[in-house]
Amino acid sequence: MRRLSVLFRNYHRQLSILTLFPLVLTILTGILLPILESRNGMEKITNFVLKLHAGRFFGSDIVYCGILGLSLLALTLTGLSMTGLLPNVNQRKTANK
């Protein structure tokens, strides 16, 4: 089981590095959007920031949002497994005996 923990830790580390840029981009553009929408005459910049936020700037927004959502779900699951909040399969088997 210790080997699986090391595998999850490495997977979590690599996935967090890959997810960092899109997540920070989504956060920053999400903060900027209400500010830009409240100003008049900023429609072009607001539309550009909205495209960045939704992932339409990179092509398909469905793929961008899907990959970002799945990677965050995987990070959550691997993070929970490392904290010990999720029960291990071996612990359940020994508890039933």
- Angle at which helix 2-37 crosses helix 43-54, to 10 degrees, equals 160
- Angle at which helix 61-83 crosses helix 2-37, to 10 degrees, equals 130
**Amino acid symbol at 14:** Q
Chain segment 6-51, per-residue pLDDT in tens: 888 888 889 999 889 888 988 999 999 999 988 888 889 999 998 8
The residue that leads in pLDDT, 86 or 95, is: 86
Residues 6+ apart with CB under 8 A from 93: none
Q: Is residue 50 a contact partner of residue 44, using CB atoms and an 8 Å limit?
A: no
| Cα end-to-end distance, the chain, whole Å | 19
The percentage of the chain sitting over the pLDDT mark of 90, rounded to a whole number, equals 21
